[in-house]
Chain A
Amino acid sequence: MPTVTTLHINGAALACDAAAERSLLSVLRDDLALTGTKYGCGEGQCGACTVLVDGVPVRSCLTPCGTIGPQKITTIEGLERDGRLHPLQQALLDVGAFQCAYCASGMIMSGVALLAKNPQPTDAEIVRFMDGNLCRCGGYGRIIDGIKLAATKSTP
């Protein structure tokens, strides 16, 4: 059975020893203790497991770790730089977006991908891009506010 021995995560090459068929989510969480990325449904419906692979948001629960290869993975743990939060993390804190916050990591990774692609999204564009991420506490309005706030902050 093929195994994965290296994954490029948050700027580092991390050693692992994982069956290629295992989900990226499981390897991140159980082997590398990068537990910021969450399990929510296992079928790509809730977005809690969202990570970036070469900047593209993917559902890590449905992504076998053997399909990653040399691509660069970014997880929620990789957003903070020198103790400074990513503008979207800060904006979501500023608007008090979260209640239980179990969705937060996936929301933030999807939102980071959105802002990278579309730095000034409209409400409709945010809704369309983020619609695969569930928040059971119902904080969608505040998350939209946070994304828009981050967009104003990252304007040159």
Chain B
Amino acid sequence: MKPKTVTRLGRGGTLAKPPCSPGQGRTALTPFTRRQFLKTFTGGLAVLWTLDLASTTARAQAESGSAGRNRRSGQRRPVELAAWLHIAADGSVTLFSGKTEVGQNVRTMLTQAVAEELPAPLASIHVVLADTQLVPWDAGTFGSRSTPDMFPQIRRVAATAREALLDLAAKNWGVDRATLTANDGRIHHAASDRAIGFGELTQGEKLVVTISENTPLKPATAWKIAGTSVPKIDGRAYVTGRHRYTTDITAGVSTSPATAAVPGRIAATPPDALTIPGLLHGRVLRAPSFGATLVSLDGSAAQSLPGVKIVRDGDFVGAVASTEHLAARATAALRAEWKTKEHISDRGLFAHLRSTARNAPPATAAASANSSPPSTDTLRQTYTVAYIAHAPLEPRAAVAEWKGDQLTVWTGTQRPFGVRSELANAFGIPEERVRVIVPDIGSGYGGKHTGEAAVEAARLARAAGKPVKLVWTREEEFTWAYFRPAGVIEIASTVDPNGKLTRWEHRNYNSGNAAIRALYDVPRDARTEQFHPAQYPLKQGSYRGLAGAANHFARETHIDELARTLKLDPLEFRRRNLTDPRARAVLEAAAEKFNWKPQPGTTTTLARNASDGSATVAPPLRGEGLAIGFDKGGYLATCAEVAIDRATGRVRVVRVVQSFECGAIVNPDHLKNQVEGAVVQGLGGALFEAMRFENGRILNPRFSDYRVPRFSDLPEIEIVLLDRKDLASAGAGEAPLQGIAPAVGNAIFDATGIRLRGLPLVPNGLKV
């Protein structure tokens, strides 16, 4: 049986079957060229609809908006369905997306999107992510855009396919299309009790149809698969160690087992391992400080090591060897002389940022604590935020393989197409000759937008004439990646006798303008919220939440200070200045769950603690703090309780309640996991994380010197999720991190009367 409306496609077809069967999509090793692609698809049948393609395409492009377009390169998302989705003859569905899986479970979310709208069984859907040769162009995985942008896009893709399949079945059976339903991978005709599988309909050929914004999508209230806690796709591969991150690509087993494995045990390489025979290991020689230039190099001792190749290209020097150990020995044996430059050190950082900021007002009373504020200010204060590192557990890594002038790079980046451009630029070759494949990543948190390791591995591989794997050491990751920007934030505010904000001035120097806008009801002409770029001493870039963590810390600390100054409970003070119903909803939800006890006036819990009397062993000081926020479409409120050991000064966050609302929830359990994780990760920057640096050198580039949250730092965490099925789904990767620092800082004040205005709050504990 063949569809009635089919057209034979010639060799000029633009897209065809996916080159890999499900399960192989992101692990296929053979670079797949478009020519091979077409070879596998000569003279195939395609299902073609008699749509006005030109007008539909124009409309879809007009509607795709800025989210789908790369402003610089003019890249656009394809509107052809076949670029996104393919249904094989056996009914299996393959989805193609440029997003990367960093543990946020985008793979699961997109699977849910297809399952919901097509609709097809979850198990029949395979998602190919982040392979520049196979997936449609995408700007990258950042800005919490996957949920508000890619999720509806893939729903439209699947819904377009559903409508096309309904058309096709109606024509095949010669029945009224309105009498058909699509369900569970099949089209059903109730009147004749017939059903046909999607694969039987398409026979594995591409669906030639244009994605339209007008395709009806199911409202969240009607979701059956979206909106539920579908477990992590490929979860089993992670708990068995079978999933291959970039760092896990190997040359294969170099020797065979000496004896047979015990039956039932897996002793050698699992069959799905990524292997590249002949893969060598690289190591890069690092300069002693940022910006240093190479004066001379003696590579004779290194070059004499067995099988070692030393690569030099300007200031870039590296070694390639058969093992990582040997490559490291080789770079250690290099004798290099460097010319260094002078750099700003961490001690002078904040003054430097403030003094070099663009369009900045003159430093005012805020800068000197002893000056009295201008009479119109109720409060004027300065806050600071240190540089911190992402420290993803999988460091930057890449495997590069040249075949002639074709380059394939496997690397853990959040911007596969951006890194493709970096590689093309680095080697002066067209992007078409570069393929970037991103195995699901050992996370990034905004730290893997760039392709440093990819370019380095490709340089080493080109010089060696062999595929090369480069895995950055932890020290390299801490030193040569980029950091969350440090910043200085000045806030001045005025409050009227009724406790209403009448003026708000928030200036961020260097760290950024993310979430700089306050939710509070300040008259438009009485608010200034401005970012001032400055000269900065360390390479800085994206980080989960960007400057949102800094801006929330400054703002919500300031609000707490105002409340204390005005002798108002911080919860009540926020209520008086907040009409946004979504913000109020999260605030009330968190306060209720936490059982917030009013903190009237300046009577801190410290004062209440002090009246406890004279116990021989003083109990820890306890205090509670509150913060609210909004970023990237998500609303949050955080309540925290701290306990401070009077003897050791150790500050422990013992309990956190965080409410969060990001529209219609796509996967409740994964959202909860994101929010819990964000709170824990946020604790690090709140309490103790800070890069220390001196004259172009990082002083603490290792976990033994750079403390990140551990099991023993874990508070009791309660998450309250508000599901707004009437609202579009927003992202949740970034906003939930931003309430914890101010909530903890405010709790420390409540406990001790000590106001901390810099992050990290207590890198060395707190003497009380």
Nearest Cβ on chain A to B29's Cβ, whole angstroms:
14
Given A30-B281, A33-B250, A137 and B241 contact (CB-CB distance below 8 Å): no
- Which among B394, B445, B710 is the interface contact of A38 at CB below 8 angstroms? B394
- B267 an interface residue at 8 Å Cβ cutoff? yes
- B259 an interface residue at 8 Å Cβ cutoff? yes
Complex Cα–Cα for A31 and B269 (A): 10
Pairwise interchain contact A130-B474, C-beta atoms closer than 8 A: no
What does DSSP make chain B's interface, helix, strand, loop or mixed?
Answer: loop
Nearest Cβ on chain B to A12's Cβ, whole angstroms:
4
- Which among A17, A101, A136, A143 is the interface contact of B238 at CB below 8 angstroms? A101
| 9-residue interface stretch from B101-109, B349-357, B580-588 | B101-109
Pairwise interchain contact A45-B254, C-beta atoms closer than 8 A: no
Smallest Cβ-Cβ distance to B275: which chain A residue = A33
| 9-residue interface stretch from B545-553, B671-679, B692-700 | B671-679
Given A16-B255, A17-B255, A33 and B324 contact (CB-CB distance below 8 Å): no
Complex Cα–Cα for A37 and B258 (A): 21
Complex Cα–Cα for A113 and B231 (A): 27
- Which among A10, A29, A37 is the interface contact of B266 at CB below 8 angstroms? A10
- A121 an interface residue at 8 Å Cβ cutoff? no
Among B408-463, those with CB < 8 Å from A are 440-443, 445
Given A42-B474, A100-B102, A77 and B394 contact (CB-CB distance below 8 Å): no
Nearest Cβ on chain A to B136's Cβ, whole angstroms:
24
Pairwise interchain contact A12-B393, C-beta atoms closer than 8 A: no
- Which among B255, B441, B677 is the interface contact of A31 at CB below 8 angstroms? B255
Which residues of chain A are near B600, meaning CB under 8 Å? none
Pairwise interchain contact B265-A41, C-beta atoms closer than 8 A: no
Complex Cα–Cα for A101 and B105 (A): 11
Among B259-293, those with CB < 8 Å from A are 259-262, 264-270, 273, 275, 281
Pairwise interchain contact B281-A134, C-beta atoms closer than 8 A: no
Given A32-B268, A100-B393, A131 and B712 contact (CB-CB distance below 8 Å): yes
- Which among B243, B268, B269, B702 is the interface contact of A101 at CB below 8 angstroms? B243
Pairwise interchain contact A15-B257, C-beta atoms closer than 8 A: yes
Against A, the Cβ 8 Å flags (1 = close, 0 = not) of B646-688 are 0000000000000000000000011001101111110000000
Complex Cα–Cα for A92 and B240 (A): 11
Given A14-B258, A130-B711, A139 and B676 contact (CB-CB distance below 8 Å): yes
- B253 an interface residue at 8 Å Cβ cutoff? yes
Complex Cα–Cα for A128 and B269 (A): 33
Which residues of chain A are near B115, meaning CB under 8 Å? none
- A52 an interface residue at 8 Å Cβ cutoff? no
Which residues of chain B are near A58, meaning CB under 8 Å? none
Given A39-B247, A43-B702, A138-B681, A133 and B711 contact (CB-CB distance below 8 Å): yes
Complex Cα–Cα for A130 and B447 (A): 26
Give the number of residues in B that approach A within 8 Å (Cβ atoms). Answer: 78
Given A19-B325, A36-B240, A29 and B250 contact (CB-CB distance below 8 Å): yes
Complex Cα–Cα for A33 and B708 (A): 30
Which residues of chain A are near B323, meaning CB under 8 Å? 22, 26, 30
Nearest Cβ on chain A to B174's Cβ, whole angstroms:
47
Which residues of chain B are near A140, meaning CB under 8 Å? 680, 709-711, 714
Nearest Cβ on chain B to A28's Cβ, whole angstroms:
10
Against B, the Cβ 8 Å flags (1 = close, 0 = not) of A127-153 are 110110111111111111000000000
Pairwise interchain contact B257-A13, C-beta atoms closer than 8 A: yes
Pairwise interchain contact B393-A103, C-beta atoms closer than 8 A: yes
Pairwise interchain contact B704-A43, C-beta atoms closer than 8 A: yes
Given A11-B265, A31-B255, A98-B103, A108 and B711 contact (CB-CB distance below 8 Å): no
Which residues of chain B are near A136, meaning CB under 8 Å? 391-393, 443, 445, 681, 708
Complex Cα–Cα for A84 and B680 (A): 32
Pairwise interchain contact B254-A77, C-beta atoms closer than 8 A: no
Nearest Cβ on chain B to A138's Cβ, whole angstroms:
3
Given contacts A137-B443, A139-B677, 9 further A-B contacts (CB under 8 A): A10-B261, A11-B262, A12-B259, A35-B248, A39-B247, A98-B235, A101-B238, A133-B711, A141-B680
Please list the residues of chain A having a beta carbon within 8 angstroms of any beta carbon in chain B.
6, 9-17, 19, 21-23, 26, 29-43, 45-46, 48, 75-82, 85, 89-90, 92-93, 96, 98-105, 108, 126-128, 130-131, 133-144
5 A-B pairs with CB atoms under 8 Å apart are A33-B252, A34-B268, A38-B245, A77-B240, A93-B235
